[in-house]
Structure 1
């Protein structure tokens, strides 16, 4: 039986963590024995029902030179003897790569979901040239960004695997936000989803709504370490009465089915899972021009692209969709996602990357 260890010792739940959950699920369903490394007390319940998946909780993720964490990782990996190790978080690249090499694991795949500056050249050189770890990214634009550092990366150690999604079943009941929030029937519901972080651009929402009619409201789902700070700033604005924060939402298909359109106002991304999800539900989308969005929207064919921090452009794009100036048919959006970003493609490419090195 093939074995894979997925490292994701995170304290927050967002797109990367969902990506690990998805990979654990489809690998386990395919008969791979999967072990997921999580921080003690964080998210183990979300993996509990998956086939062939075992959660191992650790007390600390450590720092770059935490010998106790390295020793613990080496002990875990030697006991499991996996075919592949996957580290989902950039903070873990060094320790996971080092522990894997000490434990004798030949294949180490590190995930990057958003463009980062190379701050530690020596560390990157050791990880990707000396220890020969592999980098996987979720968009061509992100791959091209990393290839700008030829001292560390080339086409032999950087691979793009698109995030994949199952098309949702049409029978799912939508959330009725108008009833839930006591809003008039003519209210337009704009959805946002993601962790609270300056990167996500939620601080722009009051300015975006200030340029739009009063019947346009935003509903947001998600959590994060900057939640209090971002909410406090928004609540000082009069537009806050049209911004509704709903916290963690377990039933995301019902969320997406209940909105009229989706807004991604991020300042940086790799490829936003939530944008893919919204399109897979047939919802029209407005997105800032961040890495991955151009590919998902086919340079504007399947949604409106706006420059980062362009509040006026975001407002105008929302209004164009609401007023019917720009029309995106649900069937076309769903078919585009199915063909280019479906789950089966992600499964094939992940299996090839993890278990078929001669095919890479």
Structure 2
């Protein structure tokens, strides 16, 4: 029997987000967790813990403190670390890790798997040339986290046929539970309909559009926002200008994400751009219906029987969809359909099994 491979997942920085959560989940649920490392190009452990308490006490997590701009020293440090850890396969996420991890894998004589998480950035010519050059020179085995992402790669980078491995979430961790207790822990009203969003406060996530649409909903509706980011102050000011600050709850970064989903009734993501996001999968696994913009791989992350997809950038469509879910989406049949969709199509065990096949050089 062959020994399990040692895998190093490489991310740009360890901060709350879908890619980073995926890396942590792959490590946590691996057949041999002690053989899976996570390497962050940027930052330090204390900095990461400050923004993401979940990392406290975690093992096999490494930080290279990469400075801004191109850093050849970081490539050298990474290659040395890969040799020190006896890594067999490097698994990179996104462009920065693709470059640094790919070169370091060559120097350390490791295998190389790369996951492409977004389709939209390949529309930029310079980014497309960079990714294509990395694919052809570094020759990683490429996986796309959604069929739409795979289509974009095939369209923009000829001769590459990526595998498709849909993002998966832990359906044992994310499952239904009591709402009243969850709301009490977050100091949310017990008798209101609550719409929730979990995303970084950045321009691409369109929180401002969500807040504007929400401002037109009935007075007994509340909005719970989990996350942090550079736009937090601006968004709080917006709620004051719209005179809805008493109905909008800024909850900061939440470590207990299942509890957040249990507390809400409807999950909403109004992003301008996405890959295949994890948050709607987590929400649906907790039996929460969703409203999402039809961008990136979002269509592949939404149960067609219970979820609603809308055009990005349309406040009117978002308002209409939220009202529709408020009037008909909070029922047992739709909630069960949402969870069944995730269990059957987007579960973590299936995703890890498929990546294991790639690590071992097997086709999927």
User: TM tier, shorter chain?
Assistant: 0.7 to 0.9
Shift of 1:154: 2.1
Residue segments in structure 1 that go unaligned for 5+ positions in a row: none
Determine the structure 1 residue equivalent to 2:307. Answer: 303
Give CA deviations for 1:38-88 in whole Å, capped at 9, x if unaligned.
Answer: 3313436635666xx512222225533x11111111211222232211122
Of 51, 54, 72, the residue aligned with 1:46 is 54
- Counterparts of 2:330 and 2:187, CA distance in 1: 28
CA contact (8 A) 2:177 2:286 kept: no
The 5-angstrom pairing of residues 257-272 of structure 1 reads 257-272=262-277
* Structure 2: distance between partners of 1:325 and 1:71: 53
Which residue among 144, 147, 167 is the counterpart of 1:140? 147
Instruction: Summarize deviations over 1:187-241 as a string: whole Å, max 9, x none.
Output: 2111111111111110112320232111111001112233334333443322333
CA distance in 1, matches of 2:315, 2:322: 11
The aligned counterpart of 1:287 is: 292
Residue 214 of structure 1 aligns to a residue whose secondary structure is coil
Q: How far apart in 2 are the matches of 1:174 and 1:142?
A: 39
CA distance in 1, matches of 2:190, 2:143: 46
The verdict on how the C-alpha distance between 1:229 and 1:103 changes in structure 2, with shifts beyond 3 A counting, is: farther
Aligned positions of 1:1-360 closer than 5 A: 1=3, 2-10=5-13, 12-27=15-30, 29-30=31-32, 33-38=35-40, 39-40=43-44, 41-43=46-48, 46-47=54-55, 53-60=59-66, 63-64=69-70, 66-113=71-118, 115-117=120-122, 118=124, 119-151=126-158, 154-155=160-161, 158-167=162-171, 168-170=174-176, 175-177=181-183, 181=187, 183=189, 185=191, 187-298=192-303, 300-324=304-328, 329-355=334-360, 357-360=361-364
Is the CA contact 2:8–2:36 (under 8 Å) kept in the aligned structure 1? yes
Answer yes or no: is the 8 Å Cα contact 1:140–1:292 preserved in 2: yes
Q: Distance in 2 between matches of 1:253 and 1:122?
A: 40
TM-score (norm 2): 0.87
- Change over 3 Å in CA distance of 1:184–1:23 after alignment to 2: closer
1:100 deviation in Å?
1.4
**Residues 322 and 138 of structure 1: is their aligned pair in 2 closer, same or farther, counting only changes over 3 Å?**
same
Name the TM-score, length of structure 1 as normaliser.
0.88
Unaligned runs of 5+ in 2: none
Shift of 1:339: 0.8
Deviates most, 8-17 or 167-176: 167-176
User: Does the Cα contact within 8 Å between 1:5 and 1:34 map onto a contact in 2?
Assistant: yes
Q: Which moved more, 1:335-344 or 1:1-10?
A: 1-10
